[in-house]
Amino acid sequence: MSEQLKKIFEKGGTIKISLNMNKRLLNIVDEMSKIFEINRSEAIFVMLKMGIKEQVAIAENVWKKWLKDKKYDWKTISKKLVELGNFKKKWDIEHIVD
What is the rounded distance in angstroms from the CA atom of residue 96 to the CA atom of residue 1?
19
pLDDT at 79 over 60: yes
pLDDT at 8 over 70: no
> What does the pLDDT average to over 4-11?
62
pLDDT at 29 over 90: yes
Q: CB–CB of 71/60 below 8 Å?
A: no
Cβ neighbour number for residue 33 with a 10 Å cutoff: 18
- What mean pLDDT value characterizes the chain? 87
Q: CB–CB of 56/88 below 8 Å?
A: yes
What pLDDT was estimated at residue 72? 85
Residue spans per domain, the chain: 3-95
pLDDT at 2 over 70: no
